[in-house]
């Protein structure tokens, strides 16, 4: 049986429950794929706005067969990008100046 993992990334401000509701938007796609014979899992990868890593991300990455070494790198990159963008958004709100350039 072919397996499909549908994951969504969510930057949580207060709690992680909205991330699971966000992931539910993929339910119609999952139902369509299941009807075609696929095994489908819908998961959420959650990082806090200040860079906290949700421990429930680890089982999601294991289910996707991401190795330990790459999981560690992925965690560092996701947390780093989240902190950078949170800082940019905050600074832009305070100063009124865009902090990044569109490429």
59-80 per-position pLDDT tens digit: 999 988 999 999 999 999 999 9
- What pLDDT was estimated at residue 95? 92
Query: What pLDDT score was predicted for residue 102?
Result: 63
In a domain, 13, yes or no: yes
pTM of the complete model: 0.72
- Does 102 map to a domain? no
52, part of any domain: yes
3-state secondary structure at position 12: strand
Q: Give the whole-angstrom CA distance, residue 23 versus residue 52.
A: 19
| Residue 100 included in any domain | no
Is 7 contained in some domain? Answer: yes
Q: How many domains does the chain have?
A: 1
What is the structure's pLDDT at 76? 95
Inform me whether the pLDDT recorded for 99 exceeds 80: no
Q: Is the model's pLDDT at 46 over the cut of 70?
A: yes
Residue 19 has pLDDT above 80, yes or no: no
Distance CA 23, CA 54 (A): 15
Within a domain: 47: yes
Domain presence at residue 101: no
Nearest to 10 by CA among 41, 54, 69: 54
Please check whether residue 103 lies inside any domain of the structure. Answer: no
Question: Hey, how many other C-beta atoms are within 10 angstroms of the C-beta on 52?
Answer: 13
Structural domain including 17 reads 3-95
Distance in Å from the first CA to the final CA of the chain: 41
In this prediction, residue 22 has a pLDDT band, given cuts at 50, 70 and 90, of confident
């Amino acid at each position: 049986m072919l397996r499909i993992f549908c994951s969504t990334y969510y930057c949580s401000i207060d709690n992680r429950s909205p991330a699971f509701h966000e992931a539910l938007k993929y339910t119609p796609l999952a139902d369509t794929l299941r009807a075609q014979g696929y095994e489908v899992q819908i998961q959420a990868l959650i990082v806090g706005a200040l860079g906290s890593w949700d421990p429930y991300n680890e089982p999601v990455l294991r289910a996707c067969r991401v190795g330990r070494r790459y999981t560690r790198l992925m965690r560092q990159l996701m947390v780093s990008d989240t902190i950078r963008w949170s800082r940019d958004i905050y600074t832009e709100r305070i100063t009124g100046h865009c902090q990044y350039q569109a490429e």
